[in-house]
Amino acid sequence: MKNAWFYVLTGWATVTVGLFLASFFGSIASEQFGITGNGRQVIHAVVMSGVVVPTILILYKKMNKTLPTPRPTAYSMKRAHHFFSGFILATGLAIIGLFLASALNLIEIHQWNVPSAWLGALLVNLLIAFFYEALPEELALRGLVFDAFNHHYAIYLAVLLQTFAFMGMALAVNFLQVLVGMSSFELFFMQLPQLILLFVFGIALALIRIFTGSLWAAIGFHLGYLLMARFLIMPIEYGAPPIVSYESAYELNFGANVMIDTMIYGCIAIMIVLLLVRKLRKSKSKTFTV
């Protein structure tokens, strides 16, 4: 496909600028008008989706017109049911990680809290996180950027390249925040270890999109990951009502790391196995046909 890098760069720039503007206007709303909490998060979501979603959809349509043969779009509503597959996978792996951390004596579970204590906050956060993070980021990175790479390179090289774009987005946004005085270089360099998490997270999201053939699965997994991180794994850090009350056995909170790793690496392992099984079945069917 011609102009693949044009769609890569414009898609990446769109989501980067959208995320920066969301944080910028959220900061202004907080400092100038005293808007905090969910109000500020709603501003983030409106700006992010308002900038990214229509722009990426326009670029997607333009890119599809350049293809020799039209392909069904990965974000087609006909594949929207895969959203629940991704969401359930993230939730299930998080719960497995919780019990694994408990079995390893990294955490001590005290009680499962009644839904009335956390469900309302979770639903509000679900809507905000969907429009602020999961939908626009996946539409741009695992959608347009990944497809542009995949039209130009082998699929697994496209997986690596799109996750580098994911990491680059985070770095670029932090750098822009430093330039306008929203952050400092000290905080910028403190964010660097998070790049490892973004690298493997980007791979997990791309693999689930490849296996299902639907961008909605990646959106669902991304959203499920965010909600489990905030309400199950690290509710204190996020100021959210916890689904489960537990106590870490160590100051470094190794239990939380186990739960996060179980979600991300568990997804990668499951997707690789499923993709290999699918490939073996296809090769066997070709052999029998011959």
DSSP-derived 3-state class of residue 150:
helix
Beta strands 244-248; 107-112: pairing state: antiparallel
Could you tell me the mean pLDDT of each successive run of 10 residues in the chain, 290 residues long?
90 98 96 94 98 98 86 88 98 98 96 96 97 98 97 94 97 93 80 88 98 97 98 93 94 92 98 96 72
Q: Extract the runs of DSSP E, i.e. beta strands, from 105-191.
A: 107-112
* Residue 184: predicted pLDDT: 83
Enumerate the β-bridge partners of residue 107. Answer: 248
- Angle formed by the axes of helices 115-129 and 215-228, nearest 10°: 140
Q: What single DSSP character describes residue 213?
A: T
Q: Write out the two tokens for 76.
A: 């087609």
Question: How far is residue 196's CA from residue 143's CA, in Å, rounded to a whole number?
Answer: 21
Q: Is 67 exposed, middle or buried (0-12, 13-18, 19+ CB in 10 A)?
A: exposed
pLDDT of residue 287: 64
Instruction: Give domain limits for the chain.
Output: 4-289
Per-residue DSSP letter, 67: S
